[in-house]
Structure 1
């Protein structure tokens, strides 16, 4: 049986992946094994570090190979094949040598480039082994010095560029809306690009989302051409708009970076006024604030159409799937817009197949929101809003720096001092953010029901209404943990759990004409959606309907928890169904006494049956 060999391949930059580095190293390994009778392992696979630096110690798979040696997965005496010793490490000589000798405790090492064989086997000529060890020391020492020198040169080059930054611009990297002068000393603006960027910010601040901005730009593509011809369609794309709306180069800032791709990290401080200012700081902050307030969940929206404001939080109480919006058009009597369980609609296992009329339920949600003050009336961005946005940005930057430092060596005094400094800075921003939040909350004006109905339903401008509905859904969704439509009642009940763990309810009668909601103080309030109010001897008596709706809900859950004889339980359930039927009739035709008398009689009988069961349960 041939001796096992393992391959370790490393190259340090992602750019080398575009070349021949991996193929070359692996082909040489295969050739060596075939010519020398080794079996190249395929069970544990090739140990490789693609785009990883041995100087920085980023070799997770080499560490894994050493662990496999220690655990016995890699058989002792096997051969590790590398292109050169500098593939194993470019660390300081003492670290690299310790790792090299530790590997030799388990495996032999062969280097393809200089055809050297390293082993801790005592049978090998001692003088030759000593010479090989000295050679390996020289190779590792040279590898570390080369990396350190290269790193220093790069750092010096960066620092030299930073020192001359005001006199000479970087020729290799600058934004697409600028043109660099031939002497590299200044930028000029591309008028078409700047006009498009300013329009994007204007649209964003005025409530337009990414899709609306894209439609606007692409409808006027001659006036607002795309920033480059890389787009195959020749149109604006979402990612470009997103990047522009968060690009701080537009406010003149320039941040230098080291590394590439995932390893890219800021280098030095932000350089202010390096680029020409296209967007002033106040406008930039307004755009950030506008984007944060428009966090739209997944799902489809038509042009200026956001039909379902329950999207993203209303669920089926049986299967937990979302309640889907269905629009079957309008009839002469009423519109046919419904909510129904997604799973049941698609023929899934869920038995919750009922359809709930949408428009009345939407009105009751607005009733719940306005009665509890869940959503404040939108206000124009003030100086306080801009201060808050600015502080949050500074807070995020400080937190990012702090997290990066926390991964470093805490024993270094300089790092400890910087950690303490940044920790104090983050705490300072936290307290300032809370103070401004408190001021803003004190200025909040709660929506009134009629105002919210107008903004979300009757607003004549479809584009404005679309934005209002999007913002409402985003805002309210963030305050709700979950909301479930209960399925086994003869009326409509939606139960909410808010982000502060408060529980709320919406109740609608069987015919969707009358309902109400709970309040934070434990009370409740009703709302008539259709029909004339019930007035008896000059006194408004609609509260009577609400009392009986609440009584029905209470009894419904009470009989679920108690034990009844089958016949008695059936009778109670029939009575409750009749109560809701009579109540719905009486809500719209309260001038007729028959439904009222029938309902009153059934309520009395049902109450007696439930009391009788209580007596039996107690006995």
Structure 2
């Protein structure tokens, strides 16, 4: 008994809600029973919601799988493929659709169209080629119908977009908005807008989504939807990623689990913030993903996580802890030390009490003039002007393509469905649409670059004022408020500081280094022998915690050396030769700076 395979396909959700499946199943069962065929029940030959116009049913659907089985000769020759009509197989261009049709026949598979009981086989088609002409006509009509339907849908959306000043595209909108009176625009829900602003501010301050969610749920911040079970990470992240916050509507096509960007409509929603402000938060979040976010814990134990490096070997500095017992009382202490040394990889294991280290860094942050250290990049403005010119050029190119497409649409409507030039016009419009999609992506990239350049000009004075303000409040808070403030402080520091090279044992010298230094002093011919002996005697030959120091490297490459006394050495290159020797040794800069420049 020959085997029959029933192939069922439709492309819209409405058809799934209707009787399309049951109708196609019934027709297949009736045909198989009437003609003595065994109806296959193992293969899932259903492409529900997949398009035959864009070849989705071939690329990733059941029909594509069936054709591969036919090619691998796993479907017996003489089997039947039952379809409601030929347009269920393909709505592609005629020659492409015909190729699929004839390949199936050549493989010895019989195609039956159940709507009109037509039977197509390789032998029959050769004997009665008129049936092939009929199939070509059916395929051509299916392709034209799909192309025209696609164009009409696009034209309808185009008309809606052109009419935005008079009518909304849809009443759907983010939860912090509601449709305004009448048919135009949206308006804020004030209390929800304040929550959105708070989410962005907390994120900018370095607070992660999980902490925002926990804070909101603890405080009982009202939800935006009654269906939600408390604040969720996914929704907070969705808000942070939403272009609707700065007013843009991003139109997308979602089909078969894939999302294709179609168009961006600026100023569609009322904006809570500018795109520049939104991008600043997005960049801060991206930076935290790259360098790692702040640590967790009751009070954020390490303000400088991700910044600390060992000055001796370049490895990471990790935090450790121990419990000290005195007179029956337990005291917890934390320290930082080289991870490589702890793991026996050759470096010196020297601990630096974290509380002392934090006080030293915070005292430096409070006193340093960030504006003078960071300065302003003189090339940024020129780069911004170039980016702005590129954005304007892309906008003009998009406008020109839009005019051309309007002309093609007029020609398409005048040509009529049966005109010979129909396909040519459609192809040109598709090419223009592809170009528009590429230009839109290029425009977004250029605009993002413009925003990045704008945000790169760090307002150092503002950062310093923020850090000083946070430091002033640090001792007055406790609990969750202290935790959030330390997160803000950590993020503010990481916006201006790229790395901290720590030297917890100061700088010590080997015998060879001491001898080399002695030769340098002798060759200078500026010192007596007893002076040279005295100077060399001041150098440490073992780690000395009294001489510990750190080098703070800023985002722009500038660095400052901070001694354990709190003194800051204000230079970024090795000290000049005219420095007096006592200052040179006090700074320990002769070797430290040389190592840091590498």
Same-fold call, TM cutoff 0.5: yes
Comparing 138-147 with 419-428, greater Cα deviation is found at 419-428
- 1:286 alignment partner in structure 2: 277
The 5-angstrom pairing of residues 477-492 of structure 1 reads none
Closer/same/farther in 2, CA of residues 112 and 421 from structure 1, 3 Å limit: closer
Question: Are 1:305 and 2:286 matched, yes or no?
Answer: no
- 1:514 alignment partner in structure 2: 547
- 1:118 alignment partner in structure 2: 120
- 2:106 alignment partner in structure 1: 105
The 5-angstrom pairing of residues 373-388 of structure 1 reads none
Structure 1: 5+ residue stretches without partners: 492-506, 533-537, 554-619
Q: How far apart, in 2, do the equivalents of 1:335 and 1:287 lie?
A: 41
Q: TM-score, normalised by structure 2?
A: 0.57
- 2:490 alignment partner in structure 1: 469
RMSD: 6.6
Which one of the candidate residues 334, 338, 355 is aligned to 1:337?
334
Closer/same/farther in 2, CA of residues 508 and 279 from structure 1, 3 Å limit: farther
Are the aligned partners of 2:253 and 2:262 in contact in 1 as well (CA < 8 Å)? Answer: yes
The 5-angstrom pairing of residues 289-368 of structure 1 reads 289-294=280-285, 295-296=287-288, 297=292, 301-302=296-297, 304-305=299-300, 307=302, 309-311=304-306, 325-328=319-322, 336-338=333-335, 356-357=351-352, 359=354
Are the aligned partners of 2:318 and 2:337 in contact in 1 as well (CA < 8 Å)? Answer: yes
- 1:499 alignment partner in structure 2: none
**CA drift at 1:139:** 3.8
Corresponding residue pairs, total? 493
**CA drift at 1:101:** 1.1
**CA drift at 1:158:** 1.9
- 1:168 alignment partner in structure 2: 167
Closer/same/farther in 2, CA of residues 81 and 201 from structure 1, 3 Å limit: same
Q: TM-score, normalised by structure 1?
A: 0.56
Are the aligned partners of 2:387 and 2:446 in contact in 1 as well (CA < 8 Å)? Answer: no
Counterpart of 1:293 in 2: which secondary structure? Answer: helix
Closer/same/farther in 2, CA of residues 431 and 250 from structure 1, 3 Å limit: closer
Counterpart of 1:225 in 2: which secondary structure? Answer: coil
**CA drift at 1:484:** 13
List per-residue Cα deviations over 1:430-469 (Å, max 9, x = no partner). 996797688x38x868999xx9999789953644432222
Are the aligned partners of 2:205 and 2:492 in contact in 1 as well (CA < 8 Å)? Answer: no
- 1:529 alignment partner in structure 2: 564
**CA drift at 1:248:** 3.7
Counterpart of 2:175 in 1: which secondary structure? Answer: coil
**CA drift at 1:89:** 0.6
**CA drift at 1:60:** 0.9
- 2:53 alignment partner in structure 1: 55
Q: How far apart, in 2, do the equivalents of 1:14 and 1:68 lie?
A: 28
Q: How far apart, in 2, do the equivalents of 1:516 and 1:262 lie?
A: 56
Q: How far apart, in 2, do the equivalents of 1:335 and 1:117 lie?
A: 85
List per-residue Cα deviations over 1:541-560 (Å, max 9, x = no partner). 85698889999x9xxxxxxx
- 1:609 alignment partner in structure 2: none
Are the aligned partners of 1:255 and 1:266 in contact in 2 as well (CA < 8 Å)? Answer: yes
The 5-angstrom pairing of residues 495-574 of structure 1 reads 510=543, 512-515=545-548, 528-529=563-564, 539=582
**CA drift at 1:197:** 3.1
Are the aligned partners of 2:10 and 2:48 in contact in 1 as well (CA < 8 Å)? Answer: yes
The 5-angstrom pairing of residues 13-412 of structure 1 reads 13=12, 49=47, 51-58=49-56, 59-61=58-60, 62=63, 66=67, 69=70, 72=72, 74=74, 77=77, 79=79, 81-84=81-84, 85-111=86-112, 113-114=114-115, 116-120=118-122, 122=123, 124=124, 129-130=128-129, 132-180=131-179, 183-185=182-184, 187-204=186-203, 208-211=207-210, 213-221=212-220, 224-232=221-229, 235-259=230-254, 262-267=257-262, 270-272=265-267, 274-275=268-269, 277-281=270-274, 285-294=276-285, 295-296=287-288, 297=292, 301-302=296-297, 304-305=299-300, 307=302, 309-311=304-306, 325-328=319-322, 336-338=333-335, 356-357=351-352, 359=354
List per-residue Cα deviations over 1:9-42 (Å, max 9, x = no partner). 5443578788998899789989988996669597
Counterpart of 1:173 in 2: which secondary structure? Answer: coil
- 1:504 alignment partner in structure 2: none
Determine which structure has greater relative contact order: mean sequence separation of CA pairs < 8 Å that are 6+ residues apart, divided by chain length: 2
**CA drift at 1:100:** 1.1
